[in-house]
A = this chain, B = another copy of it.
């Protein structure tokens, strides 16, 4: 019998690199993977579904979870909390599912401290100047915001040695395949597959 426990993968990268798009593609070509859903105290936007896009909760509820150490990481942005609930992640891992946390780089480094066994993936664009192009083509952010994001990305690049793998997103299918390979290869490790030797 395979009583394998799932493995935790943290997928991050600079703002604008296309994390969510790549992971969406990945889910079509891999099985037995759960993408963790964040909790937040901000109000749902139109079309956002509780338990799909976020776990929506009020500040009291969120702060109680903080007190009880029920977040792998959390942060406050513009007056709202965002966090990764430990319980749902733990439950999926116990069920043998690999879990992906899609998270910004600062949160990713916090996760690594709390869960040193996790596998860390950093998605980059084919070249740094491509990042600016992507941010601009969204058309939703001012020059100032874009400049700030690029500045931030530069700093995030400095922590590259904290990551196990670098995934290049020059093509969504290729980037999704890269993540698939990384996750599957891990499942084929001897210590995880010895139970098959019968």
Residues of A within 8 A of B (CB): 122, 124, 126-128, 157, 160-161, 163-168, 178, 180-182, 184-186, 188-190, 193-194, 196-198
The closest CB in chain B to the CB of A127 belongs to: B198
Q: How far is the CA of A189 from the CA of B164 in the complex (A)?
A: 6
Contacts A178-B188, A185-B185 given; indicate if A160 touches B194 (C-beta within 8 A).
yes
Does B178 contact A165, Cβ atoms closer than 8 Å? no
Does A190 contact B161, Cβ atoms closer than 8 Å? yes
How many Å from the CB of A9 to the closest CB on chain B?
12
Does B190 contact A164, Cβ atoms closer than 8 Å? yes
Q: Of B124, B163, B188, which is within 8 A of A182 by CB?
A: B188
Q: How far is the CA of A157 from the CA of B197 in the complex (A)?
A: 8
Contacts A181-B185, A184-B181, A197-B166 given; indicate if A190 touches B122 (C-beta within 8 A).
yes
**Which B residues are in CB contact (< 8 Å) with A178?**
184, 188
Contacts A181-B181, A181-B185 given; indicate if A197 touches B165 (C-beta within 8 A).
no
Does A165 contact B185, Cβ atoms closer than 8 Å? yes
**Which B residues are in CB contact (< 8 Å) with A185?**
165, 181-182, 184-186
